[in-house]
Chains A and B, each alone.
Chain A
């Protein structure tokens, strides 16, 4: 158990809908990272928050947004869903703000299926 909790584990929805994925980092970790893993694109970095502030942005679509709350949990909001958004969405956390120092701890992922 990594200590990172993601909910829901599975989600099935229809095109055009909006969903929210939630991540609770390990106790004491200030950074939360979101990644998308799809069959055609592999793993891609989406966005990072550090202590409530956006730290870095990767290949995140404008239809997607995220935030980190004062209690350090984070939510990834996906709207106007398309078939191609079907993927496994991972959250990871670390104590520090960069991934080249310290370990990364991953959640089990949220599997999104858009029909």
Chain B
């Protein structure tokens, strides 16, 4: 079983829709990253969270440490949001290394 699970694996939405991507993890973490991978392959770090909520433009990320769950929300979605969104956690068990363990990603397609 993967330590980091994302859902859904694939998501198709119409332009303007509100989108939610979920990430669950099974072990203790010290922080969580949301990454965006463009169709060309490049990766951009969107958020790093250890508690609460962060907002950047139309993107909102939340984390509930007790429930071991994080969500990425996109408001007023646009075709340019089409990408793979990847959740990555730093496991407490990785000790001082504190390196990323990745989810398998959510492929988002926003149709005009």
Contacts and interface: CB of A to CB of B under 8 A. Distances in A.
Interface of A: 2, 33, 35, 42-45, 48, 55-58, 88, 90, 92, 98-100, 102-109, 111
A12 B104 CA distance: 26
Interface string B30-53: 110101000011111100101000
Interface size range on B against A? 20 to 34
Nearest to B41: A109
Nearest to A106: B43
B27 interface: no
A114 to B, nearest CB: 17
A110 to B, nearest CB: 10
Contacts, number: 66
B99 A48 contact: yes
A90 B102 CA distance: 13
Given A43-B88, A99-B31, A99-B33, A104 B98 contact: no
B76 interface: no
B86 interface: yes
B56 to A, nearest CB: 12
Contact of A56 (B86, B97, B104): B97
Nearest to B30: A100
A47 to B, nearest CB: 9
A111 B98 contact: no
B45 A58 contact: no
